[in-house]
Chain A
């Protein structure tokens, strides 16, 4: 069983659109949306939720003002200035460290666990999908990412499926680290812009740091052939496998508006042709 994570460094390079396209091409797979903060893959795959669970992580302090003596120790200890002069905890600022709770001499600070999102196991026209929704302004600690990956693995094992195809988050922080550790490979989707190249280099280094084999493709490549070439030279120097290039193609947006993959929307697009080539190379590299 192989687990492929599609990442980018920079947002907006086309991870989710490419994931949707791969969903049309791959067989015997589980789809996993690990981009839990602003997840979008479900907008194309139209999942039918079979199982829904709350995601609970972290706690937030809450002071019982009726019993509080306003001694001020909690405010003194709080390193996030989360407790106001009126002894109210700002739940957005509260880090959930529990220090105020522990040291309150009157023991009047409650510390309930946060329900900060939910996760789903669903059916789609492409097969099973594991996805999640992180609540707005919640801590994006990577725990929910880890959870959806674990559930995807379980599902793949139960149903004897060869591949977990995962939509990863942008950036290089906690959610990305949680999404790539132990994966069979990552596919970095980049774009031929100075921003795209800069961010791709950082996430590629992250993948190398965590010893995850990395592949790469350049989306919208015809926007700038010079930067496309620079990216491919960097990739070769660092041992990233270049899978191919995808031309800029309005079919992506048109298909998205119809909640379709580009292959469902149109048969003969240039981007579609390029993606089929990339998918063949990818399958070969992964040993599918």
Chain B
């Protein structure tokens, strides 16, 4: 089973839910941190890292000796990653989406593929949890290619929990697509509600069943609950604001370690998700 955890608004508690849910389930579980721009889950899970690999994406390399400056490569490129001037070709690797079109179209066979670094992927474990995250190279613009590489580590038959980035655009889609359930995490405030509506729109576009967790549930108003009711979005857990939880979070402590009663609640959440899927 693959459960992705998304939100729309940043800072609602996705990583808190993802890490504590994984730890509560405890065995046969994978936690994939797909917020590759700012991965945080490792700060709480503290996995023993066993593997680190650098991940690359193909970009063109032009052999100027063979190049006739015909310009077909620049013409096919939708991303302005190649410019052909009179007797010069310029390649802007950072703009390349790795489609391979320039290599295909070159009549002289002057283009081969070299690499641009996307970032790193690290694999490790803590007890029964297999942990994988990606860390985007600083200056790398695109996160979806690295997110896809993190998700390549999914193992069918395990419970895979995916911590998604905030927002509703391509990085979030890459994290949520082809999962069995999206758990949306929100706060009951106008910003939380506004962004939740966008997130629900994205999930519904992917046609995946979804449920809601309301975090800091007593700080705000009732509009999120009303919205959830109207949209048949089941509220699967509510976490009231708790200074103790906030302080534990600030230290990098897991809620279920510091306040063991929460393990029962996260297991209940897991049962509710399974019930939604049956």
Contact = CB atoms under 8 A, between A and B. Distances in A.
B139 interface: yes
A193 B202 contact: no
B109 interface: no
B242 interface: no
A194 B168 contact: no
Contacts of A194: 40, 43, 250-252
A136 B138 contact: no
B169 A177 contact: no
A137 B205 contact: yes
Nearest to A103: B104
A77 B104 contact: yes
A88 to B, nearest CB: 15
Contacts of A169: 167
A97 B171 contact: no
B100 interface: yes
Contacts of B168: 37-38, 136-137
Main secondary structure of the interface of A (DSSP, over half): loop
A92 B177 contact: yes
A100 to B, nearest CB: 9
Contact of A92 (B105, B167, B206): B206
B142 A11 contact: no
B74 to A, nearest CB: 13
Interface in B125-167: 136, 138-143, 165-167
B218 to A, nearest CB: 10
A172 B141 CA distance: 8
Nearest to B7: A11
Interface string A66-104: 000000000001010000000000001001111100110
Interface stretch (B48-56, B85-93, B189-197, B231-239): B189-197
Nearest to A194: B252
Interface string B53-94: 000000000000000000000001011000000000000000
Interface in B94-111: 97-101, 104-105
A37 B167 contact: yes
B78 A172 contact: no
Interface in A1-20: 8-13, 16
Nearest to A178: B141
Main secondary structure of the interface of B (DSSP, over half): loop
A174 to B, nearest CB: 4
A59 B78 contact: yes
A9 to B, nearest CB: 6
A29 B142 CA distance: 32
A223 B78 contact: no
A98 B99 CA distance: 9
Contact of A173 (B105, B141, B190, B206): B141
B271 interface: no
Contact of B166 (A77, A170, A224, A250): A170
A40 interface: yes
B260 interface: no
A136 B173 CA distance: 10
Given A92-B173, A173-B142, A12 B9 contact: yes
Contacts of A59: 78
Given A194-B251, A253-B220, A98 B78 contact: yes
A102 B105 contact: yes
A195 B250 CA distance: 7
A142 B249 CA distance: 32
A137 B202 CA distance: 6
A38 B9 contact: yes
Given A11-B11, A194-B252, A224-B247, A102 B76 contact: yes
A174 B118 CA distance: 13
A257 B221 contact: yes
B11 to A, nearest CB: 1
A25 interface: no
Interface centre among A8, A99, A138 (most CB of B within 10 A): A99
A14 to B, nearest CB: 8
A155 interface: no
Given A98-B78, A194-B43, A77 B100 contact: yes
A170 B55 CA distance: 23
Interface of A: 8-13, 16, 37-38, 40, 43, 58-59, 77, 79, 92, 95-99, 102-103, 134, 136-140, 142, 169-174, 177, 191-195, 198-199, 202-203, 205-206, 209, 223-224, 227, 250, 253, 256-257, 259
22 contacts: A8-B10, A12-B10, A37-B168, A38-B195, A43-B190, A43-B194, A77-B104, A98-B99, A98-B101, A103-B104, A137-B173, A171-B165, A172-B37, A173-B136, A173-B171, A177-B141, A193-B252, A194-B40, A198-B38, A202-B38, A223-B246, A253-B189
The 7 closest A-B pairs by CB, nearest first: A12-B11, A11-B10, A97-B99, A140-B169, A174-B141, A171-B37, A194-B252
Interface of B: 8-12, 15, 37-38, 40, 43, 76, 78-79, 97-101, 104-105, 136, 138-143, 165-171, 173, 177, 189-191, 194-195, 198, 201-202, 205-206, 219-221, 246-247, 249-252
Given A137-B169, A170-B166, A253-B189, 7 more contacts: A43-B191, A92-B173, A92-B205, A98-B101, A134-B169, A136-B202, A140-B167
